[in-house]
Chains A and B, each alone.
Chain A
Amino acid sequence: MIHSLFLVNSSGDIFLEKHWKSVVSRSVCDYFFEAQERASEPENVAPVIPTPHHYLISVYRHKIFFVAVIQSEVPPLFVIEFLHRVVDTFQDYFGVCSEAAVKDNVVVVYELLEEMLDNGFPLATESNILKELIKPPTILRTVVNTITGSTNVGEQLPTGQLSVVPWRRTGVKYTNNEAYFDVVEEIDAIIDKSGSTVTAEIQGVVDASVKLTGMPDLTLSFVNPRLLDDVSFHPCVRFKRWEAERILSFIPPDGNFRLLSYHVSSQNLVAIPVYVKHSISFREGSSLGHFEITIGPKQTMGKAVEGVLVTSQMPKAVLNMNLTCTQGAYTFDPVTKMLSWDVGKINPQKLPSLKGSMSLQTGASKPDENPTINIQCKIQQLALSGLKVNRLDMYGEKYKPFKGIKYMTKAGKFQVRT
């Protein structure tokens, strides 16, 4: 299925290759480089590139292209998802998945790739199982290893591979039994000039960190389960029970995992957390423009909006910006024309604003498009859709676990048109 994998950095150097079947010559990547050159930006390289004898399917993450070489017909979604899983695993192991990290850990990378694929077919990709086969490098362990000469490899085969429940190993033991759940919602929205919503959608996940002894059987119920119209579950969730009673019943995997992900897309349910008042104007023939934005909380149910970062790509004609902000700090890069304003926390009594003038290229015609404003922000202790966990029960084991739930809302692709 996947013949070979090449890791290419954005300047077009192959810095790692791995072949699962016969060795494919590096020259196959020339087709990829051609596409890379043609694309104005690295993001614009098409994910599927046909060549006379192979297909190249690539994903671009962390400034690295992961290029898979395919020789026969495959489902593209399969390969792309797999490549993302490889990247996620690297990130999991090394903390960051940068070119430097891959080069530093080249041995672990090869070990991982060897276990993840055999003869081009995915083999072990669950992080639980991989971590038992190959221990992730930590600073402490590296030091210990250099002194004692011991290895990063588990000497034992993971027992989980033979358990009845494929995602959970048998004989798990903890002294502190705890189960924590994070409800994280990300809002994607496009707001138009007048402040009305063009599209808005919430993408939510429930991530869990479960450290429980034995084989616990958990049930989790929501106050308002009808809210979730488009849900997908971790394979451990009993789907029939959800369909009948809207209750999540499952034997959890050990450690961290994503219990479910969902979408809320009907417009009236999606609350918009912040609003932006803006007045940006360019005058024909004048070399000065006026810029003013104010940002304030909208529907946050009394919770504070934190970590606000406003970015905007200004038109080419803008040479420089001379602004003052009431809060935080702003930067404007005259080369990339990127304005970014780090606001921090919004104080509802005193709304942060940024205003001043823009100097424009003299003689250039007035830009025909106003810039789009991107906003990032965070709201703790709030799930924007109003989703609430009712209760969590455990069956099958005798002890009493610690339970915890945390809510958080983030702005994903949140943009305001001006």
Chain B
Amino acid sequence: MPYLGSEETVKELKRALSNPNVQSDRLRYRNVILRVIRFMTQGLDMAPLFMEMVKASATVDIVQKKLVYLFMCSYATLKPDLALLAINTLLKDCADPNPMVRGLALRNMCNLRMPGISEYIQQPILSGLRDKASYVRRAAVLGCAKMQNLQPDAEIDGAVVNELYGLLRDQDPVVMVNCLRALEEILKKEGGVVINKPIAHHLLNRMKDLDVWGQSEVLTFLLRYRPRCHSELFDILNLLDSFLGSSHSCVVAATTRLFLSLGSALPAVQSGALERARGPLLAACNAQSRELRFVALCHVQQVLRSLPGHFGAHYKKFFCSYSEPNYIKFRKMEILVELVNDENVGTVLEELRGYCTDVSPELAQAAIFAIGRVGQTYSEKCLSILTGLLELKQEQITSAVVQTFRDLVWLCPQCSESVCASIAGCEEHIQDSEGKQALVWLLGVHGEQIPGSPYVLEEFIDALKTEQSPAVKLELLTATVRLFLSRPAETQDMLGRLLTFCIEEECDMSVRDRALFCYRLLQCGVEEARRVLGGPKSDPSLGVIAGRPEEPINSWAGDFNTLAPVYSREDWAALTATTGGSPSLIPLVTGGAAQADLGSAEEAEAAGSAAAAAAPSPPGPSEELCLVSGPPLSPELFERRWLALEPSRRVSLDWPGGDCLPETLQAALQLVNIQALALSRPHARPWKAYLYAHSLGTVVLAELLRDTDAGGLQVTVKQDPEREEALSSFLTVLKTVMQTLLNSRASLSSHN
């Protein structure tokens, strides 16, 4: 449509609208209005016609009315003075005998969104709430919320709120759900609608009358209700059980979330609910709609964080089908990697092998990295596949394989021999800088095992002038110096050339600095250089950290069926930081969000340090720490903080004889939101445990120490930042837990 010619069009339409001949012919009149709406949807500014359109609203033709209302709602904010003229017609329609007209007028009057309208709409809304047609009541109830939105600073009208609470008992289910929605918006500042016992039970009884959307929303509102006793809780669970098998995935997900939240203290209920939801969730993973499939897969991933074996028997459902979009394939591959076990490893690897030659280079690379992750456990099988892929001599495949090799060698030292044997000749097929970095690193660290390594490096050095990436140059410097230490005769000459070039001709500061550093290091003598550069060649313990332990269900239960699972944790933390966070419904979760925040920052760091982890591994007790690790606060971060902080308090607890099992202790602590980072074995002396908790914006770190069997338990607590209340509450909770454990053990032994 010609945007420039819009003035002409407006003029012509204006003429047509005010033409009495057109006005008298209903059909022609409507057609002109129709054209106005068409132009409006195409983005032309039709605001100048407002006056004429308002006049057109006085008609008995419902379609024409709807069209004019639509027009008015779009432009009322621009022409508030003129819109007031329309109000009379609207008010009259609100008293029309036809309920459809009444509802329509009321709904649109509330949609006008202009200053000063609220005084006109108050009365019609109030009478609409008591209208005998449910269609009008539905519009009126939401109208209350719209009125509140128009004047956000105004005092909340208690009478309206009470009326809405009363209307929760309305016989029309949509009116009931609309009441909840309206109250939620009106009472946003006070924490939303209150769900007490009578309301909760009323909602539960009405569940089956609602449509899918209503069910899904009511289930979300019910998250706020905490049943008083176990029998009530189980009654609720029984009542809602059939919704776990609903044909609508949104209802299934909402029910699952409610079950997880209700059963936050009853692991059996939670696992039962997930068991029942497995079928529907898998069905959603194969749904017609690819968007549903994607979101369902995200939720499957979330469940797998706690129950790694939950979908084990159904791993074939996660095989990619040829026509699926990439974002689904990526998710499926991530899930497949998690589902690998001794029985299916062959099939899964064969499947992943098929994806490696996909037309999309990103997908092919992701498949290769996925094989690499499987390789951390099943290295032999994966190595043969990866080596096979090298023979294809394809650029991006070779690059990804070499990167995978680098990570594998670092995590599984047993692979290094076969990797070194197979990477000869790769350099011809690698063009991207990531691949080059990986290859150069391998050549540097394992150079003595690769016969041709100096000559490959030499080729890189000869091509240095055309090399774009500073990262490759940095890697090349380190690798060449390393190789010089193991094979000096072949490397000396090119190392000299490399250093000369990097020091004298290189423009990138960091590369030049690194070159100068290497040069001075070598000046200090070969032994000194070997001491600095010759760190460990692999670190299998890193694999233990990378292979995530099972997380408690409660750590993500609050996020189920929200947008959080769609993003990875890092993205979500970043997002909520910028948007000010989403209102979480359960108090339990607020702590979790903070943990995720910390965890994500740490994960990024860990990834960065993994590659450059030439630094000596942390000494002393941290080796013990690797036995168990909690994901939100990683051991490294914990250790760093622990060393940086001064002890805030030292307490001694009573603990007569014997050790409790680490699982019991951990489970008990998790119940009160204290995370156990690491525990010694039951009978080790000294026995140590490292714990942390988030409270009142601070992180409390604690060490439990038990030197001898006779002595009590020494508790050292550190805190960042200092906060006295948090500290004392932490100690009280901890004491209670230990006391409870003691008691339960005492009662157990007395039973025996």
Which residues does A use to contact B, with CB under 8 Å? 1, 14-17, 19, 21-23, 26, 40-41, 43-44, 46-48, 50, 52-53, 55, 57-60, 72-78, 80-84, 106-107, 110-111, 114, 118-119, 121-126, 133, 146, 149, 151-157, 161-162, 166, 188, 190, 198-199, 201, 203, 229-235, 239, 258, 260-261, 263, 265, 313, 316, 368-369, 372, 374, 413, 415, 417
User: Which residues of the partner chain B approach A203 to less than 8 Å between Cβ atoms?
Assistant: 283, 286
Contact A114-B142, Cβ < 8 Å, known A48-B563, A166-B173, A198-B319: no
CB–CB B99/A157 < 8 A: yes
Contact A46-B247, Cβ < 8 Å, known A52-B578, A153-B62: no
Which residues does B use to contact A, with CB under 8 Å? 26-27, 30, 34, 37-38, 41-43, 61-63, 66-67, 70, 74, 77, 98-100, 107, 113, 133-135, 138-139, 142, 145-146, 149, 172-174, 177-178, 181, 208-209, 211-213, 216-217, 220, 242, 245-250, 253-254, 279-280, 282-284, 286, 289-292, 294-296, 314, 316-317, 319, 321-323, 325-327, 351, 354, 357-360, 392, 394, 561-563, 566-567, 571, 575, 578-579, 582-583
The 10 closest A-B pairs by CB, nearest first: A232-B247, A73-B582, A122-B213, A47-B291, A78-B250, A77-B250, A230-B279, A199-B316, A43-B325, A119-B142
Sample of 7 further A-B pairs with CB below 8 A, known A48-B563, A52-B579, A126-B211: A1-B181, A60-B290, A75-B562, A76-B566, A121-B217, A133-B100, A233-B247
CB–CB A201/B134 < 8 A: no
Q: Which of B41, B178, B351 contacts A17 (CB 8 A)?
A: B41
User: Which residues of the partner chain B approach A201 to less than 8 Å between Cβ atoms?
Assistant: 286, 317
Q: Which of B290, B317, B563 contacts A76 (CB 8 A)?
A: B563
Q: Which of A57, A81, A166, A374 contacts B322 (CB 8 A)?
A: A374
CB–CB B213/A230 < 8 A: no
What residue in chain A is nearest B321 (Cβ atoms)?
A413
What residue in chain B is nearest A48 (Cβ atoms)?
B566
CB–CB A44/B67 < 8 A: no
User: Which residues of the partner chain B approach A75 to less than 8 Å between Cβ atoms?
Assistant: 216, 220, 250, 253-254, 561-562
CB–CB B38/A106 < 8 A: yes
User: Which residues of the partner chain A approach B145 to less than 8 Å between Cβ atoms?
Assistant: 119
User: Which residues of the partner chain A approach B146 to less than 8 Å between Cβ atoms?
Assistant: 119
CB–CB A239/B242 < 8 A: yes
What residue in chain A is nearest B31 (Cβ atoms)?
A146
User: Which residues of the partner chain A approach B34 to less than 8 Å between Cβ atoms?
Assistant: 107
User: Which residues of the partner chain B approach A188 to less than 8 Å between Cβ atoms?
Assistant: 286, 321
Q: Which of A14, A155, A230, A372 contacts B280 (CB 8 A)?
A: A230
CB–CB A81/B292 < 8 A: yes
CB–CB B142/A121 < 8 A: yes
Q: Which of A22, A118, A232, A415 contacts B138 (CB 8 A)?
A: A118
CB–CB A123/B292 < 8 A: no
User: Which residues of the partner chain A approach B216 to less than 8 Å between Cβ atoms?
Assistant: 75, 78
Q: How far is the CB of A33 from chain B (nearest CB, A)?
A: 15
CB–CB B322/A372 < 8 A: yes
Contact A123-B138, Cβ < 8 Å, known A44-B325, A166-B173: yes
| Residue of B146, B211, B216, B360 ringed by the most chain A CB atoms within 10 A | B211
Give A150 to B377 CA distance when docked, in angstroms: 73
CB–CB B149/A81 < 8 A: no
Q: How far is the CB of B365 from chain A (nearest CB, A)?
A: 15
CB–CB B208/A118 < 8 A: no
Q: How far is the CB of A72 from chain B (nearest CB, A)?
A: 7
CB–CB A107/B63 < 8 A: yes
Q: How far is the CB of B557 from chain A (nearest CB, A)?
A: 14
CB–CB A125/B213 < 8 A: yes
Give A41 to B362 CA distance when docked, in angstroms: 14
CB–CB A121/B213 < 8 A: yes
CB–CB B249/A121 < 8 A: no
User: Which residues of the partner chain A approach B284 to less than 8 Å between Cβ atoms?
Assistant: 77
Contact A41-B77, Cβ < 8 Å, known A106-B41, A107-B63, A149-B26: no
CB–CB A198/B316 < 8 A: yes
Q: How far is the CB of B145 from chain A (nearest CB, A)?
A: 6
Q: Which of B181, B289, B314 contacts A119 (CB 8 A)?
A: B181
Give A230 to B247 CA distance when docked, in angstroms: 10
CB–CB B291/A80 < 8 A: yes
Give A316 to B149 CA distance when docked, in angstroms: 57
- Can you spell out 5 A-B residue pairs with CB atoms less than 8 angstroms apart? A44-B325, A53-B579, A74-B562, A80-B289, A110-B70
User: Which residues of the partner chain B approach A261 to less than 8 Å between Cβ atoms?
Assistant: 247
What residue in chain B is nearest A232 (Cβ atoms)?
B247
What residue in chain A is nearest B578 (Cβ atoms)?
A52
CB–CB A21/B149 < 8 A: yes
User: Which residues of the partner chain B approach A43 to less than 8 Å between Cβ atoms?
Assistant: 290, 325
Q: How far is the CB of B228 from chain A (nearest CB, A)?
A: 27
CB–CB B291/A235 < 8 A: no
User: Which residues of the partner chain B approach A152 to less than 8 Å between Cβ atoms?
Assistant: 63
Q: How far is the CB of A168 from chain B (nearest CB, A)?
A: 13
Q: Which of B134, B249, B291 contacts A161 (CB 8 A)?
A: B134
User: Which residues of the partner chain A approach B43 to less than 8 Å between Cβ atoms?
Assistant: 14, 26
Give A380 to B314 CA distance when docked, in angstroms: 30
User: Which residues of the partner chain B approach A74 to less than 8 Å between Cβ atoms?
Assistant: 562-563
